[in-house]
Amino acid sequence: MSKGIKIGHRRSVLVAGLAILSASFGACDRREEPVAAFVTGGDPELGRAAISRYGCGSCHIIPGIQGANGLVGPPLSGIANRVYIAGVLTNTPENLMRWIQDPPSVDPLTAMPNTGVTEADARNLASFLYTLQ
């Protein structure tokens, strides 16, 4: 098994463990930020700021984000605990970042547009989203 696969697998296991251990803590728990940052390599606070820049709240309800009350896409509460992203991707940091950066490449029929999210912003967005228990 290659080193990249091992690291990805470890992160997946950590995300699953985070979901199991923190299911009772509620949405956007600050205690989850260090783990979310570790598994994604991003910064949850920078991700919070990126949500506004990319307009995520115009389509999604996002706990902890003022004005994020969109009804086009699913609410993002509890996304860290979900098994799948967009109903087709296993919820791993790599898959979440892939989805955030280019949703139509995963599902050409999705309503979620490619908003030009950079790789760094995708890491930060994923890091914030993984705080949403």
The CATH number of the domain holding residue 8 is 2.60.40.420
The reported pLDDT for the residue numbered 5 is: 45
pLDDT for residue 23 is more than 70: no
> Alpha-carbon dihedral of residues 86, 90, 95, 100, nearest 10 degrees?
20
Domain that holds residue 42: 3-129
CA distance 36 to 39: 5
Going by C-alpha positions, the residue among 133, 65, 129 that lies closest to residue 100 is 129
The reported pLDDT for the residue numbered 107 is: 96
The reported pLDDT for the residue numbered 35 is: 87
Give this prediction's pTM: 0.77
DSSP 61: B
Residue type present at position 15: V
The reported pLDDT for the residue numbered 32 is: 72
Going by C-alpha positions, the residue among 84, 86, 96, 87 that lies closest to residue 130 is 96
Q: What is the pLDDT of residues 50-102, one digit of tens each?
A: 999 999 999 999 999 999 999 999 999 999 999 999 999 999 999 999 999 99
pLDDT for residue 13 is more than 80: no
Count CB atoms within 10 A of the CB of residue 37: 21
Going by C-alpha positions, the residue among 76, 37, 43, 73 that lies closest to residue 58 is 73
Number of domains forming the structure of the chain? 1
